[in-house]
Amino acid sequence: MQQRIRRSFAGVVAALLMAALIGQFASAQDSTRQKGRKYKDPPPTARVVVTVVKATNGKPIHNAAVVFHSSKGDKDDGNLEMKTDEQGKASIDVIPMGSKVEVQVIADGYATFGEDYELGTDTTKAIIIKMKRPQGQYSAYTADHVVPGVSKPGVQEPAHSATPTTPSTTSPTAPSTTSTTAPTSGAQQK
C-alpha cells in the first residue's frame, strides 16, 4: 500500500514538474516575441524592364551586361548585374519605389552606356537603351607635337613602326651579326 501511495505521489510530482516546465517554456517564448525584433514589411517595389537594342537597326543585343545601382536618399542599396536575354531584355523587381537607379550597360563592340532614372511611384518602369558603336576620341596631342583637336574613329593608340630598331652602339666583345632578310608583317627580329 505504501508503494502504491509512493507511486501515485511520484506521478503527481512528475506531472506538476512537467506542467511547470511547459509553463516556463511557453512564457519564455512569449517574452522573446515581446523583446525581439519586430517584423517590418519590406517596402513596395517597382519592376524595371531594360531593353537593349542596336541604335542602327533596332535589333536586340543578346548577353549584354546591365548593372543596376539603386539608392534612396543617402542610403546606397547596392548593385545587381544581369544579362539580357535573346530579346535584349533584363528585368528586376526588387528595387524600392521612389529610388534613384543608375543603369549601366556594357556590350561587346559597343560604347558603354550609363544614365540615372527616378522610379517614383510607378509600379513598372520600361527603359529602352539604344547602343552605339564606339565613337572617335578627342585628343589634343598626337605623336610628338600638339595638333588642335583631332578626332579619329576607334581606340587611339600610338603608331607602331614596322621597321626594327637598331642599337646605336655595339659591344666590342659581342660578335656583330647582320641579317639579309627583312622582317614581314611588322614582326621584329630579336
Judged against a pLDDT cut of 70, whether residue 62 lies above it is answered with yes
Task: Examine the pLDDT at 2 and tell me if it is beyond 70.
Answer: no
- Domains delineated in the chain: 45-131 (2.60.40.1120)
Span 60-70, mean pLDDT?
Answer: 95
Residue 105 pLDDT greater than 60, yes or no: yes
pLDDT, position 7: 66
Average pLDDT over residues 45-62: 94
Distance CA 95, CA 113 (A): 20
Please write down the HEC assignment for all residues of 147-186: EEEEEECCCCCCCCCCCCCCCCCCCCCCCCCCCCCCCCCC
Q: Give the tens place of pLDDT for each residue, 148-166.
A: 555 555 554 454 455 555 5
